[in-house]
Amino acid sequence: MSTPPEQQQHVRGEAAQQVEAASALTALPTSIAESKELTGLTHECGVFGAIACGDWPTQMDIAHVICLGLVALQHRGQESAGIATSEGKSSTNFNVHKGMGMISTLFNDDSMKKLRGNLGIGHTRYSTAGGSGVVNCQPFVVHTAHGAMALAHNGELVNNESLRREVLARGVGLSTHSDSELIAQSLCCAPEDVSELDGPNWPARIRHFMMLAPLSYSLVIMLKDKIYAVRDTYGNRPLCIGKIVPINAGHGNSSETPADGWVVSSESCGFLSIGARYVREVEPGEIVELTRSGYRTVDIVERPDFKRMAFCIFEYVYFARGDSIFEGQMVYSVRMQCGRQLWREAPVEADIVSSVPESGTAASHGYARESGLEFAEVLCRNRYVGRTFIQPSTRLRQLGVAKKFGALSENVDGKRLVLIDDSIVRGNTIGPIIKLLRDAGAREVHIRIASPPLQYPCYMGINIPTREELIANKLNADQLARHVGADSLAYLSVAGLVQAVQLKQQSADVGDGDGKGKGKAMGHCTACLTGEYPGGLPDELSW
Confirm or deny that 240 is annotated as ligand binding: no
386-391-392-393 Cα dihedral, nearest 10 degrees: 100
Among 45, 53, 67, 137, the one annotated catalytic: 45
CB atoms within 10 A of CB 54: 14
- What is the separation of C-alpha 230 from the centre of its chain, rounded to a whole number of angstroms? 14
- What is the three-class DSSP state of 521? coil
Kindly write down the DSSP assignment for every residue of 451-519, as one continuous string: SPPP-S--SSS-----GGG-GGGT--HHHHHHHHT-SEEEE--HHHHHHHHTHHHHHHHHTTSSSTT--
Could you tell me which of 340, 317, 336, 316 has the C-alpha nearest to residue 326?
316
Following DSSP, what letter does each residue of 410-464 receive, concatenated?
HHHTT-EEEEEES--SSSTTHHHHHHHHHHTT-SEEEEEESSPPP-S--SSS---
User: Any known ligand binding at 338?
Assistant: no
H, E, C per residue of 31-82: CHHHHHHHHHCCCCEEEEEEEECCCCCCCCCHHHHHHHHHHHCHHHCCCEEE
Residue 188 is among the residues annotated as catalytic for this protein:
no
Tell me how crowded residue 166 is: count the other CB atoms within 10 A of its CB.
16
Say how many C-beta atoms besides its own lie within 10 A of residue 338's C-beta.
28
Alpha-carbon distances of 343 from 135, 186, 347, rounded to whole Å: 47, 49, 5
Measured between alpha carbons, how far is residue 195 from residues 198, 205, 471, 528 in Å? 8, 11, 54, 42
User: What SS3 state is found at 93?
Assistant: strand
Residues ≥6 apart with Cβ < 8 Å to 19? none
**528 is known to lie in a ligand binding site:** yes
For 354, list phi and psi in degrees, rounded to 5.
-145, -175
Alpha helix stretches (DSSP H) within 351-429: 361-371, 394-404, 409-412
State yes or no: 458 annotated in a binding site: yes
Rounded-to-integer distance, Cα 75 and Cα 508, Å: 31
Q: Are 417 and 440 in contact, with CB atoms under 8 Å apart?
A: no
Say which residues have a Cβ less than 8 Å from residue 282's Cβ, sequence separation at least 6.
218, 229, 230, 231, 239, 240, 241, 264, 288
What residues have CB less than 8 Å from 180, skipping those under 6 apart? 136, 138, 139, 140, 151, 152, 153
416 in Cβ contact with 444 (< 8 Å): yes
Closest by alpha carbon to 149, among 118, 107, 181? 181
| Residue 332 near residue 362 (C-beta atoms within 8 A) | yes
487 is in an annotated binding site: no
Annotated binding site for [4Fe-4S] cluster: 312, 458, 525, 528
Could you list the residues known to form a binding site for Mg(2+), using ranges.
Answer: 359, 421-422
Binding site residues, as ranges?
312, 359, 421-422, 458, 525, 528
Tell me the catalytic residues: 45
